[in-house]
């Protein structure tokens, strides 16, 4: 019965699809062994299934997996859920290669306002409200209110310049902070830019990423690949890459893309000695910056806890510089410079940075704002 059904489907499409092809090609396809899942076998006898089979045969589809895919697609498009097919809604699928074909419309170059000083890279996103933003690194553009010039490119490669744009929201310095900033773009920028899509999830250890941006040694954007995720925790992404060099300078603010072409990170720096590359989690950082900006809310607070007790509360535009560990007699035991600390870090468990904390010890936190020491906060360990 199954063979008869398939033969009828092939014969139905044969007059159109194979009228100008040698007969032996048609019969060769006709006798090619094919097996289908019960799902496909069922809908091949229905109206939608018949139409899908005709389309599949007309395109020369003879493999079971390909025909099942074609039939499933047709069922989605024509709404044949009543056939008992529990199919998920169709989701547009993109790939890195597709995004890279137009990447010059998505990446921006950041210049000091009114000057020819190239400072770093960035990229364009569209918020859920439809507004356009350029994303850059905080340590490149600085605090909210600072002015920058942005160079963008249309589909033909023609430069479009926006001058004296103000930083709308900004985070703080360091790879364990929200080292990112957003700049609101005029809506007419949609005529020539292609906003990138931000991935709704963090990358996993082992994932391979690429970064697109312009370094200080180049006159246009380029690609660096072979970035393998080593650690993705909270705001920080740490990657290994062979051949990290000073030629990466200028990439800060660039988008880190996964294999689907979605932004998972915002490039924030590198260390040639350790061959490590750092980035900020794009989804988490932009949720904070764009979310608070569009709602007109103040920047949120981060709690820093030691042994479960909240010892310090900082706004997102503040960060911790040095954390210094003293014993009860005031002798220095250890210190960690958090802005460049590449190991695991959890603000809810600061004690994990120091494995030998004892009652009577003291931790001193250097609170930094706009890259200047704002205050020192001592915390007694009980």
More confident residue, 144 or 31: 144
d(Cα 280, Cα 249) in Å, to the nearest integer?
16
Provide the pairing of β-strand 255-257 with 181-184: unpaired
Tens-place pLDDT, residues 55-102: 444 444 444 444 444 444 444 444 434 444 444 444 455 799 999 999
Tens-place pLDDT, residues 276-313: 999 999 999 999 999 999 999 988 899 999 999 999 99
Residue 136 domain flag: yes
Final residue in a domain of this structure, among 298, 327, 342: 298
pLDDT at residue 114, as a whole number: 83
Share of the chain above pLDDT 90, in %: 69
Final residue in a domain of this structure, among 259, 276, 298: 298
| CATH number, residue 180 | 2.40.10.120
pLDDT at residue 252, as a whole number: 97
Cβ atoms within 10 Å of 46's Cβ, excluding its own = 14
Q: Are residues 109 and 149 in the same domain?
A: yes
pLDDT at residue 92, as a whole number: 52
Average pLDDT on 142-156 reads 96
Residue 255 domain flag: yes
Q: Is the pLDDT of residue 15 over 50?
A: no
d(Cα 321, Cα 183) in Å, to the nearest integer?
26
Final residue in a domain of this structure, among 58, 83, 108: 83
Tens-place pLDDT, residues 136-147: 999 999 999 999
Domain count for the chain, please give it.
3
By the 8 A CB rule, do 237 and 203 touch? yes
Q: Are residues 175 and 293 in the same domain?
A: yes
Q: Is the pLDDT of residue 42 over 70?
A: no
Judge if pTM exceeds 0.95: no
317 burial via Cβ count (<10 Å: 0-12, 13-18, 19+): buried
Q: Are residues 105 and 193 in the same domain?
A: yes
Q: What are phi and psi of 249, to 5 degrees?
A: -60, 135
Q: Are residues 328 and 287 in the same domain?
A: no
Tokens of 87: 């199919």
Please give the torsion angle defined by the CA atoms of residues 51, 54, 57 and 61, in that order, rounded to the nearest 10 degrees: 0
Q: Is the pLDDT of residue 216 over 80?
A: yes
pLDDT at residue 355, as a whole number: 86
Burial 233-257 (b: 16+ CB within 10 A, else e): eebbbbbebeebeebbebbbbbbbb
Q: Are residues 35 and 116 in the same domain?
A: no
pLDDT confidence bin for 196, thresholds 50/70/90: very high
Residue 198 domain flag: yes
Task: Report the mean per-residue pLDDT for the chain.
Answer: 83
Q: Are residues 289 and 309 in the same domain?
A: no
Tokens of 96: 């890195």
d(Cα 327, Cα 349) in Å, to the nearest integer?
19
Average pLDDT on 32-54 reads 47
Q: Are residues 170 and 264 in the same domain?
A: yes
Cβ atoms within 10 Å of 24's Cβ, excluding its own = 8
pLDDT confidence bin for 115, thresholds 50/70/90: confident
Q: Is the pLDDT of residue 316 over 50?
A: yes
Full domain range(s) for residue 373: 300-380
Tens-place pLDDT, residues 242-283: 988 888 999 999 999 999 999 999 999 999 889 999 999 999
DSSP 164-216: EEEEEEE--SSTTS---EEEEPPGGGGGT--PBPBPSS---TT-EEEEEE--T
Q: Are residues 15 and 152 in the same domain?
A: no
Contacts of 23 (CB under 8 A, 6+ apart): none
Question: What residues pair up with 322 in beta bridges, in sequence order?
Answer: 337
Q: Are residues 116 and 222 in the same domain?
A: yes
d(Cα 220, Cα 297) in Å, to the nearest integer?
37
Q: Is the pLDDT of residue 30 over 60?
A: no
Tens-place pLDDT, residues 336-372: 999 999 999 999 999 999 989 999 999 999 999 999 9
Residue 88 domain flag: no
SS3 assignment, position 343: coil
Q: Are residues 127 and 274 in the same domain?
A: yes
Q: Are residues 118 and 192 in the same domain?
A: yes
Q: Is the pLDDT of residue 215 over 60?
A: yes
Residue 342 domain flag: yes
Phi and psi based region of residue 79 (left: phi greater than 0; alpha: psi -120 to 50; beta: remaining): left
Question: Taking the alpha carbons of 328, 329, 330, 334 in that order, is the dihedral positive or negative?
Answer: negative
Q: Are residues 161 and 61 in the same domain?
A: no
Average pLDDT on 141-169 reads 96
Residue 274 domain flag: yes
């Amino acid at each position: 019965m199954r063979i008869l059904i398939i033969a009828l489907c092939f014969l139905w499409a044969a007059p159109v699809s194979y009228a100008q092809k040698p007969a032996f090609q048609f019969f060769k396809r006709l006798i090619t062994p094919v097996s289908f899942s019960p799902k496909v076998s069922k809908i091949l006898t229905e109206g939608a299934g018949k139409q899908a089979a005709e389309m599949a045969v007309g395109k020369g589809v003879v493999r079971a997996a390909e025909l099942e895919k074609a039939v499933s697609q047709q069922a989605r498009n024509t709404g044949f859920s009543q056939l008992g097919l529990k199919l998920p809604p169709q989701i547009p699928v993109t790939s890195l290669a597709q995004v890279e074909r137009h990447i010059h419309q998505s990446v921006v170059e950041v210049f000091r306002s009114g000057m020819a000083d190239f400072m770093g890279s960035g990229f364009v996103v569209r918020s859920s409200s439809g507004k356009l933003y350029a994303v850059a690194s905080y340590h490149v553009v600085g605090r909210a209110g600072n002015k920058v010039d942005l160079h963008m490119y249309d589909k033909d490669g023609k430069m479009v310049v926006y001058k004296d744009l103000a930083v709308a929201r900004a985070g703080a310095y360091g790879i364990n902070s929200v080292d990112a900033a957003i700049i609101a773009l005029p809506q007419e920028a949609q005529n020539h830019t292609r906003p990138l899509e931000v991935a709704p999830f963090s990358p996993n250890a082992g994932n391979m990423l690429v970064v697109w941006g312009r370094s200080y040694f180049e006159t246009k954007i380029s690609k660096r690949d072979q970035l393998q995720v080593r650690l993705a925790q909270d705001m920080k992404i740490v990657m290994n890459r062979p051949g990290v060099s000073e030629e990466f300078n200028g990439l800060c603010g660039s988008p880190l893309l996964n294999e689907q072409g979605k932004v998972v990170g915002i490039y924030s720096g590198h260390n040639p000695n350790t061959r490590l590359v750092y980035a900020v989690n794009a989804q988490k950082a932009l949720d904070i910056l764009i979310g608070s900006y569009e709602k007109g809310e103040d920047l949120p607070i981060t709690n820093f806890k030691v042994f479960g007790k909240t010892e310090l509360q900082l706004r997102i535009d503040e960060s911790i510089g040095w954390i210094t560990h003293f014993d009860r007699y005031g002798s220095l035991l250890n210190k960690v410079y958090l802005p460049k600390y590449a190991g695991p870090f959890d603000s809810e468990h600061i004690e994990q940075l120091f494995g030998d904390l004892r009652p009577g010890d003291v931790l001193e936190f250097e609170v930094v704002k706009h890259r200047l020491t704002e205050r020192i906060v001592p915390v007694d360990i009980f």
